[in-house]
Structure 1
């Protein structure tokens, strides 16, 4: 059997399943958490089967990644995790581990950077991997060896879905987010550049320097690009997932038994 690496964005999966269960009627909080843990374990088992994974890992977020230090406003408006869920995370980790999947919680790094690093390393070794997440940040990594699966919509994301959702090609995603910003993560982008302007720029020009040099482009857009180029650079770094995280373990340690 060819090796296949299953990469689960753990909190992405858990928080969505928990949100559904928390809104249901249960006998008690304890009963609700047990049901939620069972659903997460069931999801993991289904993913193992559907992907024919030979190796698997569920990655959690570390405490504070480099992005929080690099840009103080990063995710500052995001709702904190409910205390009930936060205090029960160890139960979810145990539920995942019981399916045979390795659970990894870095000290500081974000799960996204860990997963991107693993997928990139696997691809360079011609090993296929499936990333399970609804996070759009993984979309720039789609290639012949890396696929992204939305467990809740039960579909694999592809270039067509990217173009339908964002109106641009996959290769333009990073520049698009750097220009338009990302409200879900409080990434600023270029103030005054909305979705349509960002689409126009990335679909027309090779890079923003080319846009700034073109007199055919609106002078107001050019002015914003010139005056806020530093925010574009900062935003681009924030939305770019790293692939150089030192992991401290090898693919062999993720083999399923």
Structure 2
């Protein structure tokens, strides 16, 4: 059987399932958490079946990653995890492990960087992988060996949907986010450059320097790019997922029984 790696963005899956169950007010916290754990386990089993995975891992976030040290306002406005959920994470991890999927929680790294590293290494070795997440940050990695699946919409994301959603080609996504910013993660972008201006710049120029050097570009936009180029550079680093994380384990250790 040809190897296939299933990569689950664990908190992305858990938090969305938990949010639905937490709204069922007729349940006690204990009942609600038990139901959530069961639904997460059920989701994992369905994903194993639908992907025909031979190897699988569910990755959690470690503590403050390098991004928090690199840019102090990274994710500063994001609501903290509900304490009830935080206290029950060990139960969710156990529920996932019961399905045969390896659970990994790094010390400091974000799940996104771990998953990107694993997918990239697998692709380099001609191994296909499925990333399960609603996080748009994985979209630049879509290729013949890497697909991204939205469990809640029951759909695979493709390059056509990227163009339709963001107005730019896949190869331009990182530059687009670096210019327009990403409010979800408090990535600043270039102040004064909105979605339309960012689309215009990345669709018409190979690099930001090319845009700055084009006299036909609006003076106001040129000025913003020149004055805030450092914020563009910072933002680009924040939205670029790393593929060089030292993992400490091999693909063999993720094989399903």
TM-score (normalised: structure 2): 1.00
**TM-fit CA distance, 1:196:** 0.2
Q: Quote the residue 1:178 is aligned against.
A: 178
1:149-207 CA-to-partner distances (Å, cap 9, x unmatched) read 00000000000110110001000000000000000000000000000000000000001
1:192-232 CA-to-partner distances (Å, cap 9, x unmatched) read 00000000000000010000000110000000000000000
Q: Quote the residue 1:160 is aligned against.
A: 160
CA distance in 2, matches of 1:27, 1:98: 24
1:2 to 2:2 alignment: yes
Give SS of 2:50's match: helix
Q: Quote the residue 2:136 is aligned against.
A: 136
CA distance in 1, matches of 2:232, 2:255: 40
**TM-fit CA distance, 1:26:** 3.4
**TM-fit CA distance, 1:29:** 0.7
Q: Quote the residue 1:19 is aligned against.
A: 19
Q: How does 1:189-204 map to 2 (within 5 A)?
A: 189-204=189-204
1:51-107 CA-to-partner distances (Å, cap 9, x unmatched) read 000000000000010000000000000000000000000000000000000000000
CA distance in 2, matches of 1:139, 1:92: 27
1:237 to 2:214 alignment: no
Question: How many residues align structurally?
Answer: 257
1:149 to 2:149 alignment: yes
CA distance in 1, matches of 2:183, 2:203: 22
CA distance in 1, matches of 2:201, 2:159: 19
Give SS of 1:87's match: helix
Q: How does 1:47-196 map to 2 (within 5 A)?
A: 47-196=47-196
Unmatched tracts of structure 1, length 5 or more: none
**TM-fit CA distance, 1:28:** 1.1
CA distance in 1, matches of 2:208, 2:69: 26
**TM-fit CA distance, 1:111:** 0.1
Give SS of 1:109's match: coil
Asked whether the equivalents of residues 26 and 32 of structure 1 are also in contact (C-alpha less than 8 Å), the reply is no
CA distance in 2, matches of 1:249, 1:26: 43
Q: Quote the residue 1:214 is aligned against.
A: 214
The 4+ residue runs of structure 1 with deviation greater than 3 A are none
- More deviation in 221-230 or 23-32? 23-32
Give SS of 1:129's match: strand
Asked whether the equivalents of residues 3 and 127 of structure 1 are also in contact (C-alpha less than 8 Å), the reply is yes
1:41 to 2:41 alignment: yes
CA distance in 1, matches of 2:17, 2:24: 11
Backbone CA RMSD of aligned residues? 0.4
